[in-house]
Amino acid sequence: MGTVTIGVSIAVPEPHGSQLQVLRTGFGDAAAHGIPTHVTLLPPTEIDAGVLPAVEAHLAEVAAAGRPFPMKLSGTGTFRPLSPVVFVRVVEGAAACAWLQKRVRSTSGPVPRELQFPYHPHVTVAHGIDEAAMDRAFEELSDYEAQWPCTGFALYEQGADAVWRKLREFPFGSGVVPPQAGRVEHGTLPAR
């Protein structure tokens, strides 16, 4: 049956997702066109294609136990020099993301995955590009802000063309969004 490469993430909604993807492309990150803007819960993981139904069932259980929560992005950070990444920081919702990713990767589930680095929720805006472009991404997005109510996550598969495509969304078990998560505000981009 073969293998597939999957990932699980929280999509950054519109208009924020497209704005950040366009900026990422503008910084020279060639992979940006194939990666929807997101907060990772399970990094790229190769699995046997036959395990996919079990993965979907597991993710449905994780989502059923989850509840909507407020997400807020603000400012930039970097993993340099350890890893060539500049990101927009998750300043609200990080604990909920950590809770979710731990359950997604649970040793009792079909995708028990050890991480190369400790989990740190973020939105990548530059990866593996030259240092000057990384510095520019860090500076230009230092005042970026966006917030929205997070109501679920999704399963993605990476195609042979290196493009990530959504396979299925997993809404949280409770449709009740806490009042503080109910506000959706537009992201603010720095003037160019």
The pLDDT of residue 116: 86
Is the pLDDT confidence value at 177 over 60? no
Q: Which residues contact 70 (CB under 8 A, 6 or more apart)?
A: 92, 93, 147, 148, 149, 150, 178, 180, 181
Options 3.90.1140.10, 1.10.357.10, 3.40.50.300, 3.30.460.20; CATH of 3-170: 3.90.1140.10
The pLDDT of residue 175: 54
pTM of the model: 0.88
- Alpha helices by DSSP H, listed for 71-179, are 94-104, 131-140
| Segment 136-154 mean pLDDT | 97
